[in-house]
Every structure is written in C-alpha cells, then in structure tokens.
A = this chain, B = another copy of it.
Amino acid sequence: MDVRTGLPVVGMVGAGQLARMTHQASIALGLSLRVLATSRDDAAALVAADVTVGDHRSYDTLLAFAEGCDVLTFDHEHVPGDLLSELVSSGVVVLPGPDALLHAQDKQVLRERLSALGFAVPRWSVVTTAQDVVGFADGTWPVVAKAVRGGYDGRGVWFLADAEQARELFDARQAAARVVTGAHLIVEERVPLVRELSAVIARSPYGQVATWPVVETVQRDGICVEVLAPAPGVGADTAIAAQHLAIRIAQAFDVVGVLAVELFDTGRELLVNELAMRPHNSGHWTIEGSRTSQFEQHLRAVLDYPLGATAPTAPAIAMANVLGGPDGATGIDGRLHHLLALDPGIKVHLYGKSSRPGRKIGHVTVAGTDVVALRDRATRAASFLSTGKELAE
C-alpha cells in the first residue's frame, strides 16, 4: 500500500517495453509501477518514478525489491523458479505463481504437461546428440531444435535442414560449453501451418476470465513483426476454440494475469506452441483496439480487481513492430516527424531503446475497417521508422 495514495504497489521484475507500457496503464489506476531494472536506461526505467537497479537472479535483491509491494509480477520469464518459491515462502505475493510460470519458462515441462492434459502439440522429443535429431527426423527434414530455456525473439531456435546442420549445431554448442543442466534441447516437427494465431486472455486469482479476439501473428526470422486483430480468415468456430483452449490452459496451470497462447493453425487443428504469462507482443494492439488494454488487465488481474470490458473500439486493427534499422536510433526524431505527416492516423509507441539492428524498439498501431489496408499502413509506418525509407508501392 502506498501511504501517499491509499492504493496498492505493484512491483514488476524487468523494465523493458512491457513494463514501460504497464507503467502507462498503472497511472490511470492511480498507481505508479515499481520496476526492477538491469540498467537506468531500460525502457521502463526511463519513464517510471520508482526504479530499483538490480539483478533479478539474486534472492536478496528480489526480496528487498518486493518489500512494500502488494504483489510481484513480471516483464519477462527469466527469474529462476526456486527463488520465486522462496519468495512465496517468505510471504511475498507472486503472480503468476512459480508453479504456473514454469510452463512459460521450460519448453519441455510445457510439452509434457500439455500432452498429459490432452492438448495437441507438435510432435517433439528431448535430444542430447545430433544422432537423436537424425533419429527423430527419420528422413523428414527440416526439423526445429529449441533450447528448453531462455530463448526469445528467434534466439534459442534453429531450423535444421539435414543431419549435417544438426551436427553443426551440437558441435557449436559443445564448443561454447553451453551443454549445461536446463539448457538442453528439444526437437520438434516443422508443422505445415496455414497461419500462426495468438489467444490472449486474462485470469484473476478469483478465477474471473476475460478474452480478446484471437489474432494472427506474422513472424519473420522468428520475430513477430505484425499482428492482425481479429485474425482475418479465421472462422468463428476456430476463434472460439482457440479462446476456450487458452482458458482451459489458464485454469489447468492456475495462471493469474495475462496469458498469451501461441498457436499453429494447420487448417485442421490448433497446436500449442508457446505460452507467455505477462502482457505479450500479440496484445499490444489492445492499447487502442480494446476498451481495456492487456496492460491494464494484467494489473487488474494480479491485484484481484474485477477485470475490464474488452469490447473492440474498431472493426479491425493492425500492429507492426518497429525493428532497429541499420542506422540504429540515429535520426529517429526526424523519421517520427515525417511519419506523423505521412499518416496522421498512425499511433506510435517508441520504447526509448537504443537501436540495435533487429531489436524491437517500438510498434505502431492503426485502427479501421479494412484489414488489408490497415496492414499495409502499419507495415509501411514501421518500416519507415526503422529505415527512414518509404516502401515501394
């Protein structure tokens, strides 16, 4: 409880763009997000009043950070589960809880639990040698190798075209001495998919659930680059099935907060790919597109407030990520200036991050009726902010 305001204190571990946008949402609720940053220059640390710089892998740091917080929640999945369990034992309210969060931290545990519960997942296996991969592929290439822990935005994922590439991957990991406990690999069939979908919902400790329309996510080089809401060309049956699937997973794992379920749509069935238990890139469109954004909803959920209405504010929304361009952040002010003139309806979100090529430094959202036109506008705007160049017609 913040004695100055009579309102609760939410502590978020991590201070990236998700914490930055959660801080924005917290302001409306009378709060001021407390963030645990790795650096003063983290996206959320640049804009929040209550910033601690410290190591999220240190129990003492986490315990000191949690002091005075009504609830501890997350911008990322990188806090070791044993530290979280210790915090819970010490009386800290951690949401989502460590037992739930494990399913977003460990790809092997996730697949084992999902399979046991009867959810469809791609065919997969644990592998410890290149020969295991060759055996799994059984002549059908490519296959996808994934680090069980720690991967994101395309890191920790390798598409293997043949046995030779499998051997190269294992040789490289051996050389880098990365074959340590918890960092082993799984291998998965490459699913022939029609599209990737994401079902984003929120769940409170009380068990209340709120859903947003299921969206299509477009990936490039393993990074989400566009989100279309609602997912075009997806029938009501499939969309509802995806939402139900997300709700059942949230209930099965006792998730509290926002849950994003990444799905492969094969045209015949929905396979679960990954989970995230925090605001997710596939829900950024809700800032403009829904009466309650995923960031406000996550706060409401972890505070056990009743969840907000998720009615759409427009028939269709397109979101595109702004990736760091070749020139880094140099000239971003001028590019922003021009973009706002090119398209006065574009909503820009910049994260204040120094730009490395390929890094997510912002996103743009545009609302309207025709998803094809919206997608074109969003893609052009994001590309212009990245490179300063207009896309050819």
Binding site for B on A (CB under 8 A): 1-2, 4-8, 20-21, 23-24, 26-32, 41, 45-49, 51, 288, 291-292, 300, 305-309, 311, 313-314, 329-333, 336-337, 340-341, 344-345, 347-354, 362, 367
B28 touches A348 (CB 8 A): yes
- In the assembled complex, the Cα of A18 lies from the Cα of B337 at a distance in Å of 24
The residue on B at minimum CB distance from A30 is B350
Contacts beyond the supplied A8-B333, A24-B28, A308-B344: 13 A-B pairs with Cβ under 8 Å: A4-B46, A5-B350, A6-B331, A6-B332, A7-B333, A7-B336, A21-B27, A24-B27, A26-B47, A29-B336, A30-B352, A45-B49, A291-B345
The residue on B at minimum CB distance from A367 is B291
B345 touches A311 (CB 8 A): yes
- In the assembled complex, the Cα of A313 lies from the Cα of B306 at a distance in Å of 24
The residue on B at minimum CB distance from A339 is B306
- In the assembled complex, the Cα of A51 lies from the Cα of B341 at a distance in Å of 31
Cross-chain contact of A7 among B4, B27, B30, B350 (Cβ < 8 A) = B350
A306 touches B337 (CB 8 A): yes
B332 touches A30 (CB 8 A): yes
Contacts of A353 in B (CB 8 A): 5
Interface pairs (23), CB distance under 8 Å? A2-B352, A5-B46, A5-B332, A5-B350, A6-B332, A7-B332, A23-B27, A23-B47, A24-B28, A28-B350, A29-B336, A29-B348, A30-B351, A30-B352, A30-B362, A45-B49, A48-B49, A291-B345, A291-B367, A305-B337, A305-B340, A306-B337, A307-B344
A27 touches B8 (CB 8 A): no
The residue on B at minimum CB distance from A363 is B28
A345 touches B309 (CB 8 A): yes
